[in-house]
Amino acid sequence: MSNTNKNPYKDFVFNLPENEFKNLDEAISMRKNFEKYGATDFEELAIKLKREPICPKCGSKFYVKHSHTPNSKQRYQCKECGHRYNLMSNSIFNSTNKSFDTWITYLTLMTFNVPLEMTEELCDISHPTAMLWRKKVFSTINDYQDRINLRGTVWIDETYIFDSSILHDNDFTSKRGLSKNQLCIVVAIDIFENTYAVICGHGKPTKKRIYNALKDHIEDNALLIHDGEKAHNELIEKLHLRSEVYKADSKSNDYLLHMALINNLCSWIKRYIYRFVGMRKENLQSYLNWFVYLLRVKNSTNKWPKLERILRHLILNEGTFTK
Ligand SMILES: [Zn+2]
Query: Ligand 1 centroid to 96 CA: how many Å?
Result: 22
Contact 74, 86 (CB under 8 A): yes
Relative orientation angle of helices 281-299 and 253-273, to the nearest 10 degrees: 120
3-state secondary structure 81-105: CCCEEECCCCCCCCCCCCCHHHHHH
* Alpha carbon of 282 to ligand 1 centroid (Å): 32
Ligand 1 centroid–CA 84 distance in Å is: 8
pLDDT at 168: 59
Please give the pLDDT value at position 175. 45
How many CB atoms are closer than 10 A to CB 217?
A: 21
* Number of CB atoms found within 10 A of residue 309's CB: 16
- Residues 207 and 322: their CA atoms lie apart, in Å, by 37
Kindly calculate the radius of gyration of the chain based on its CA atoms and give it in whole angstroms: 24
DSSP at 4? G
Q: Which amino acid is at 240?
A: H
Spacing, Cα 191 to ligand 1 middle (Å): 45
* Paired strand residues for 244: 225
The alpha helices in the chain, defined as continuous H runs, are: 10-14, 18-37, 42-48, 100-110, 116-123, 127-139, 207-214, 233-238, 253-273, 281-299, 306-316
Strand-strand pairing, 242-245 and 223-226: parallel
Query: pLDDT by residue for the chain (323 residues), tens digit each?
Result: 556 568 999 999 999 999 999 999 999 999 999 999 999 999 999 999 999 999 999 999 999 998 888 878 899 999 999 999 999 999 999 988 899 999 999 999 999 999 899 999 999 999 999 999 999 999 999 999 999 999 999 999 999 988 776 555 655 555 455 577 888 999 999 999 999 999 999 899 999 999 999 999 999 999 999 999 999 999 999 999 999 999 988 899 999 999 999 999 999 999 998 887 767 777 889 999 999 999 999 888 777 888 999 999 999 999 888 76
- Calculate how far, in angstroms, residue 47's C-alpha sits from the geometric centre of ligand 1: 20
Give pLDDT, residue 213: 97
133 C-alpha to center of ligand 1: Å?
26
Distance 140 CA to ligand 1 centre (A): 22
How far is Cα 303 from Cα 144, in angstroms, rounded to an integer?
20
3-state secondary structure of 15: coil
**How many whole angstroms separate alpha carbon 184 and alpha carbon 188?**
13
Amino acid at 27: A
Going from the Cα of 144 to the center of ligand 1, the distance in angstroms, rounded, reads 27
Measured at the CA of 73, the angle between CA 70 and CA 75, to 5 degrees, comes to: 95
Alpha carbon of 81 to those of 63, 103, 300, 318, 320: distances in Å? 10, 32, 41, 18, 19
Tell me how far the alpha carbon of residue 270 lies from the centroid of ligand 1, in angstroms.
Answer: 45
What local confidence, expressed as pLDDT, does residue 166 receive? Answer: 59
Distance from Cα 44 to the centre of ligand 1, integer Å: 23
